[in-house]
Amino acid sequence: LVRGLEALKDLPCETLDKHRISLWVNTGLMADVMRSLERGAEGVGLYRTEVPFLLRDRFPSEEEQRQIYREQLKAFHPHPVTMRTLDVGGDKALPYFPIEEANPFLGWRGIRVTLDHPEIFLAQVRAMLKASEKLDNLRIMLPMISSIAELEAAQVLIYRAYHELLEEGFQITLPPIGVMIEVPAAVYQARELAARVDFLSVGSNDLTQYLLAVDRNNARVADLYESLHPAVLRALSDIVSQAHMEGTPVSICGELAGDPGAAMLLVAMGYDVLSMSATNLPKVKSALRAVTLEDAETLLERVKAMPDASGVNHCVQEALRAAG
């Protein structure tokens, strides 16, 4: 197995007919970085900055953050590292920043928290920008965006941090800025969002939860959390079409990207980057290397005719078996 992984690491992720797909990874801890590099990751599609915040008993200072972020950026350089601004609330609670709510997933989480606390957001963005000095492989991504106004407010803060740092003498460049599409409202405004940013990235974990109204962590309704529900697939496909109309690249960084069958569908839909946990990268790469783009497109057409998730799952399993 180890030798197999070793051999796969340096092979490109491309279909049999040479359609190239970028496979990136999701990270949080430094341990993820090592695993990712061993498996030949070409970038980081989601660095969950909550992780260093969770490992402390207080907010890390700007300088502490700068050091942690610089390690990530250096480890992957020259590959891009997509840093998500703090995404707390919902299922991610900081012990030293309690949020008590009846409906945490519909409450104060992600960008909503940091726009209400610009000092937290600015310290984090300043730390990211300083960390990127002379490396220039940083990308900044905003979680839980549900309106253009939220995006614009966040952009104003990022530009402000950038200009302050230029005045302070830092040699930095303005990084690409992107938004996560993980709220149904953002699916319906994907084109308007895409026109204002450098990339979109789908958070399929939350998007599935919100589209199906199924708590992603509730065991009682776990069998209703159908990742390949036709409504989810339609949303995923629409996001790509909308974004590409604006010439904006789209990635996906939810768990779905790490599933070989789903990866075939995502490639057929036109996703530019699949970002997954490093553990899943080799099996997704082998699956994609075993099919043609046309195979994937045929599968997507078949799947689109299915009225429910079990029909979709059946088609996908069959396609995977056929690909060996």
Verify binding: residue 178, Mg ion, rule CB under 5 A.
Answer: no
Question: 96 exposed, middle or buried (CB, 10 Å; 0-12, 13-18, 19+)?
Answer: exposed
Per-residue three-class SS string for 163-223: HHHHHCCCCCCCCCEEEEECCHHHHHCHHHHHCCCCEEEECHHHHHHHHHCCCCCCHHHHH
Whether 316 contacts 299, CB under 8 Å:
yes
CA angle 73, 69, 253 (to 5 degrees): 70
Among residues 182, 259, 272, 295, the one that binds ligand PEP under rule CB under 6 A: 182
Q: Which is nearer to Mg ion, 206 or 255 (CB)?
A: 206
**Shortest distance, position 87 Cβ to ligand PEP, whole Å:** 6
Distance CA 273, CA 198 (A): 14
Verify binding: residue 50, Mg ion, rule CB under 5 A.
Answer: no
**Shortest distance, position 182 Cβ to Mg ion, whole Å:** 5
Question: 31 exposed, middle or buried (CB, 10 Å; 0-12, 13-18, 19+)?
Answer: exposed
Verify binding: residue 295, ligand PEP, rule CB under 6 A.
Answer: no
Only segment of 96-104, 164-172, 198-206, 292-300 that touches ligand PEP (CB under 6 A): 198-206
Among residues 40, 43, 254, 260, the one that binds ligand PEP under rule CB under 6 A: 254
Give helix 118-131 / helix 62-76 axis angle, nearest 10°.
40
**Shortest distance, position 169 Cβ to ligand PEP, whole Å:** 35
Among residues 88, 154, 250, 253, the one that binds ligand PEP under rule CB under 6 A: 253
Verify binding: residue 52, ligand PEP, rule CB under 6 A.
Answer: no
**Shortest distance, position 168 Cβ to ligand PEP, whole Å:** 32
First to last CA, the chain: 17
Distance CA 100, CA 85 (A): 21
Q: Give the single-character DSSP code of 228.
A: T
**Shortest distance, position 182 Cβ to ligand PEP, whole Å:** 5
Verify binding: residue 21, ligand PEP, rule CB under 6 A.
Answer: no
Verify binding: residue 206, Mg ion, rule CB under 5 A.
Answer: yes
Closest C-alpha among 225, 249, 226 to residue 239: 249
Only segment of 199-207, 264-272, 292-300, 307-315 that touches ligand PEP (CB under 6 A): 199-207
Only segment of 97-105, 203-211, 230-238, 282-290 that touches ligand PEP (CB under 6 A): 203-211
Beta pairing partners, 141: 84, 178
Verify binding: residue 204, ligand PEP, rule CB under 6 A.
Answer: yes
Only segment of 34-42, 59-67, 200-208, 300-308 that touches ligand PEP (CB under 6 A): 200-208
**What are the residues binding Mg ion (CB under 5 A)?**
182, 203, 206
**What are the residues binding ligand PEP (CB under 6 A)?**
46, 48, 87, 182, 203-206, 253-254
